[in-house]
Amino acid sequence: MPDSAITHRTAHFIGGAWVAPAQPHAVLVVTNAADGSDLGSVPYGSAADVELAVAAARSAFPAWSALSGQERSDAILRLRDALADRAAAASWVISLEVGTTARISDAVQVGLPLKTLAGFADAALHIEDELHIGNSTIVREPAGVVGAITPWNYPLHQLIGKVGGALAAGCTVVCKPAGLAPLSAFLLADAAEAAGLPAGVFNLVSGAGSIVGESLARHPGIDVLSFTGSTEVGSSIAAAAASNITRVALELGGKSASVILDDVDLEKSVKASVNNAFLNSGQTCSAWTRLVVPRDAQDRVVEIAVGVAEKLTVGHPLDPATRLGPLASAEQKRSVLDYIAIGVGEARLVYGGAGLPDGIPDDSAGGFYVRPTIFADVDNGSRIAQEEIFGPVLCIIPHDGDEDAIRIANDSPYGLAGGVWCSDEDRAMEAARRIRAGQVDINGGAFNPLAPFGGYKRSGMGREFGPVGVEEFTELKAIQR
């Protein structure tokens, strides 16, 4: 589906129109993760572009926020339908930007955002905008202009989590997509134009985080700043926003644990856990990259996990036979290989390691391919167990009973997600309640896009998705009489 209209963008979307950037000859090159070639380009935005976009969003806010929930819902549904018309293009471009296999791109990178948008359309109809307590009327109002800075690993889904929630709440948006994977955001802008969203309600400025992201974070015209990305960058974003006391929502890193207790089907629980860890080639903030298992079952767990990994064919993301695509960038590949080298000195390598994956010929080495890798006998205090690797690397950590398993799960600077596997529902629920994370699945419970998503500790603050994600973009006012 090569199409320069999709891959080569020359303008930002501001105030309902495509606007030439302040520096028209400066571009940000987008790389094809499959072979390292140039896939496309987008404008290299500046502070002047951000200024124009924020002004457009502020101008549009009074009219948009005054619409009824029904009117905003109808507009979000039109946006959803217009994006659905571009689903194939979005899936194709995300596969090449990020390295996601075509099957996962169709279902998760694009299919899930479409469902999520429909959920936000429904949420716009059910915002509890007035509550009476004593002599007070508590009013929930749109917060204002939202700055949305999004990551490269799930570029459309994370953007929809911010844009959909903000629009449902009655806010207007200025978004900055990740430089590694910005092209699907432009398809969303195309959809916004086709859906007839009022001018200035949705605005898009691409460019470097150090320029466009920093300008958004420091802009006094931003009322809520929503960022998804690394903990380190999130910390700097929050510090920049603090100069204006701007409200900040952060969805950051993770080092999630899948905790297997001693009374479950190992085949099912280990297979599901390995596939979760390696989803999107491990480029998932909520991935269960720590597999915490009964000590006396570790050998059997390793056997099952290696068997699962052996079936994860690595290859070009658009090849139907591929189960794991490349990583998104050369930098990410170097980082993951560095962690694999560290892991060799910290634990027992049982599968994978350095070198090209099986089936990847030398002439494909321009792509960013890494072998799925599994370590066993991992000490939870080691670097590979404590630091977010963001690649297809799984740590198997033995535990000595429920208390020890929960201790290990919580012994992390992060608290984004996790899993518990146990045949006793009450025992599983008790463990899930005690794990300090924003989402915990019991026995493979399915992801729910209507449930709040976010983390404890260094995984961030605030929540996205569903009705709670809409509330993130509102303010509360108490009126006494």
pLDDT in tens, 372-381: 999 999 999 9
**So what's the architecture of 4-252+459-480 in CATH?**
3-Layer(aba) Sandwich (3.40)
Strand duo 460-461 + 38-43: pairing: unpaired
pLDDT of residue 266: 97
For residue 452, the tally of other CB atoms under 10 A from its CB is: 17
- Amino acid making up residue 374: I
Residue 287: pLDDT above 90? yes
Q: What residues are paired with 307 via a beta bridge? A: none
d(CA 463, CA 202): 21
Three-state SS string over the chain comes to CCCHHHHECCCEEECCEEECCCCCCCEEEEECCCCCCEEEEEECCCHHHHHHHHHHHHHHHHHHHHCCHHHHHHHHHHHHHHHHCCHHHHHHHHHHHHCCCHHHHHHHHHHHHHHHHHHHHHHCCCCCCEEEECCEEEEEEECCEEEEECCCCCHHHHHHHHHHHHHHHCCEEEEECCCCCCHHHHHHHHHHHHHCCCCCCEEECCCCHHHHHHHHHHCCCCCEEEEECCHHHHHHHHHHHHHHCCEEEEECCCCCEEEECCCCCHHHHHHHHHHHHCHHHHCCCCCCCEEEEEHHHHHHHHHHHHHHHHCCCECCCCCCCCCECCCCCHHHHHHHHHHHHHHHHHCEEEECCCCCCCCCCHHHCCCCCCCCEEEECCCCCCHHHHCCCCCCEEEEEEECCHHHHHHHHHCCCEECEEEEECCCHHHHHHHHHHCCCCEEEECCCCCCCCCCECCEECCEECCECHHHHHHCCEEEEEEEC
Q: Residue 36 is encoded by which pair of tokens?
A: 């390292």
Q: Which of 171, 285, 395, 422 is catalytic?
A: 285
Please write the tens of the pLDDT for every residue from 21-80.
Answer: 999 999 999 999 999 999 999 999 999 999 999 999 999 999 999 999 999 999 999 999
pLDDT given at position 359: 81
* Residue 208 burial by Cβ neighbours in a 10 Å radius (0-12, 13-18, 19+): middle
Q: How many residues would you count in the chain?
A: 481
pLDDT of residue 22: 96
Task: Calculate ∠ Cα 286-123-105, nearest 5°.
Answer: 40
The pLDDT of residue 361: 74
pLDDT of res. 1 = 62
What is the predicted pLDDT for the residue at 388?
98
For helices 425-434 and 402-410, what crossing angle results, to 10°?
A: 30
Catalytic-residue membership of 285: yes
Mean pLDDT across the stretch 212-219? 98
Give pLDDT tens digits for 238-284. Answer: 999 999 999 999 999 999 999 999 999 999 999 999 999 999 999 99
**pLDDT computed for residue 116 by the predictor:** 97
Q: What angle do CA 418, 228, 413 make, to 5 degrees?
A: 45
Average pLDDT over residues 456-478: 96
For residue 250, how far is the Cα from the chain centroid? 11
Question: pLDDT-based confidence at 364, cuts 50/70/90?
Answer: low
Other C-beta atoms lying within 10 Å of the C-beta of residue 78: 17
Portions of the chain given CATH number 3.40.605.10:
4-252+459-480
- Domain 257-448 falls under CATH 3.90.960.10: no
In tens, the pLDDT along 81-127 reads 999 999 999 999 999 999 999 999 999 999 999 999 999 999 999 98
User: Rounded to whole angstroms, how far apart are CA atoms 124 and 72?
Assistant: 7
Distance, in Å, from the CA atom of 395 to the CA atom of 379, rounded to the nearest integer, reads 9
Average pLDDT, the chain: 96
- Our answer to whether residue 472 is catalytic in this structure is no
In angstroms, rounded to a whole number, what is the distance separating the alpha carbons of residues 75 and 187?
A: 17
Give the pLDDT score at 2: 65
Average pLDDT over residues 412-433: 97
> What value does the mean pLDDT take over residues 136-150?
97
pLDDT in tens, 299-328: 999 999 999 999 999 999 999 999 999 999
Question: CA–CA separation, 308 vs 288, rounded Å?
Answer: 15
At residue 363, does pLDDT exceed 70? Answer: no
Closest by CA to 176, choosing from 50, 262, 290, 91, is 50
What pLDDT, on a 0 to 100 scale, did the predictor assign at position 134?
96
Candidates 253, 193, 248, 260; CA nearest to 224 is 248
Token readout for 457 is: 């500790």
Q: What count of other Cβ atoms lies within 10 Å of the Cβ of residue 384?
A: 25
Is 62 within 8 Å of 123 (Cβ atoms)? no
Mean pLDDT of 382-406: 98
Query: If we measure between CA atoms, which residue out of 125, 17, 116 comes closest to residue 74?
Result: 125
- Kindly report, as residue ranges, where domains of CATH 3.40.309.10 are found in the chain: 257-448
Catalytic residue among 97, 251, 464, 472: 251
